[in-house]
Amino acid sequence: MNRPVREAKDSTTVLAKGAEIELSIEKLAFGGQALGRFGGLVVFVDHGLPGQRLRVRLTKKKATYAEATVLAVLDQSPHYVPPRCRHFGLCGGCRWQDLAYEAQLQWKQQHVRECLAQLAGLRPEDVAAVAPSPELWYYRNKMEFTFAPRPWLPEAELAAGADPEAQGAALGLHVPGSFQRVFDVAECHLQSPQTAPIVGAIRQFVRDSGLPAYDTRRHTGFWRFVVLREGKRTGEQLLWLITTAQGDHHAVDRLAARVREAFPSITTLVHGVSGKKAQVAQGESSRVLWGPGYVEEELCGRRYRISPASFFQTNTIAAEALYEAVERLAGLTGAETVWDLYCGAGSIALSLADRARRVVGFELVEAAIQDAYINARLNGVDNCQFIAGDLKDCLRQAMNSPHYVRPDVIITDPPRAGMHPQVIQAILELAPQRIIAVSCNPATLARDLALLQPQYEVLRVAPFDLFPHTPHIEGVVQLERKAAVL
């Protein structure tokens, strides 16, 4: 074993990949890694906590920073709590599961503050305290699981003689940093207690089926993904099984019959087929094997129909508080025209419909727009219109329409990559009185705010924790058009 190097002023010149060092963790960096310093070198550590003293091994060494893995905890953090899941450390999902929840909220607020200060020039006091999630476990309404030809096993199991080839197909979650390594999930505390037994039953059926799981290197095989969605308020469950066309689809019918008998709580099963090489759980075609092909959910007094591929806020219960904040900050009187950008299945648009004269939603995914119209009918809403297409194109088309009415309020809720620059330019030309920006990524939110700030003033920043035990944080920002801008 290498003798650990203790801190020295000139240590950055002698360290190399593989070196073992001791260091104290100062903070959690944006993205979730722990940060410590060794002499003049910044060291990012996976699964470290502020207040810990660690012995680590460097896995990457650059001129100004290094990355490391933990070998031993020499002094424990006062914020440490025992992780609940047996897969902690192997799974990349709940990487803060060993950090007390109060500390999670504080660090999430700090990360929002740092991002918005650095890129958008906001003050720390502009960012409110993080609203906690009402549920800390089993809060997700959607989980995606991936098939692989064989499970990925930790070194300790391989050293003990475990043979991944002999185990057959894997079905579980990705090992952090790799789309090719999948470990078998035996338990998960994110969606519902029944999730792991369902995944385990499907895994065993697939191993017995004789049909291979998809191989991302060779692009061959049959079984690809399992997606489970559930209505937290309704109790309905949807199973979306995605395969390639390189196999016997009668095997899917047999699996469906097995699942239906073993898990009567599953109210519908959809079989999707995808020939794309990208590891994205989407189907180019689909067939409903039983049930209606969707689940319904209740949110803020509305009922929503959710198809397999439609976007819907993952944490239903926490999303209610977020949507209430959007409504409050939008300041609607009933006379406004509202545009909802990246509207998904229409959840925000419909939650605002009673307080607006008219709401127009824009969304790329056609299936989500279809759901949005169905959801409007389900709730008796007749003042919403939904438009499908790439936002940077369909916003321009809407602005050039003879029926164009300038929006008074714009709501944005883009994916993690944030808004396209052409979408931001269109918003500036539309010049609504108020913008409510919803985001799941403080870094891209800050970038987008900086582009809007020449014409808009940020009034409020309200973070919401929709993803306990992860570094992710949702935010709602209220922007008002500056007085000199029309």
Q: Please give the positions annotated as active site.
A: 440
Assigned token pair, 89: 């450390």
Q: Residue 96 corresponds to which amino acid?
A: W
Q: What is the 3-state secondary structure (H, E, C) of the chain?
A: CCCCECCCCCHHHCCCCCCEEEEEEEEECCCCCEEEEECCEEEEECCCCCCCEEEEEEEEECCCEEEEEEEEEEECCCCECCCCCCCECCECCCCCCCECHHHHHHHHHHHHHHHHHHHHCCCHHHECCCECCCCCCCCECEEEEEEECCCCCCHHHHHCCCCHHHHCCEEEEECCCCCCCEEECCCCCCCCCCHHHHHHHHHHHHHHHCCCECECCCCECCEEEEEEEECCCCCCEEEEEEECCCCCCHHHHHHHHHHHHHCCCEEEEEEEECCCCCCCCCCCEEEEEECCCCEEEEECCEEEEECCCCCCCCEHHHHHHHHHHHHHHHCCCCCCEEEEECCCCCHHHHHHHHHCCEEEEEECCHHHHHHHHHHHHHCCCCCEEEEECCHHHHHHHHHCCCCCCCCCEEEECCCCCCCCHHHHHHHHHHCCCEEEEEECCHHHHHHHHHHHCCCEEEEEEEEECCCCCCCCCEEEEEEEECCCCC
Q: How far apart, in Å, do the first and last CA atoms of the chain sit? A: 68
What is the distance between the alpha carbons of residues 184 and 200, in angstroms, rounded to a whole number? 8
Contact between residue 344 and residue 368 where contact means Cβ atoms under 8 Å apart = yes
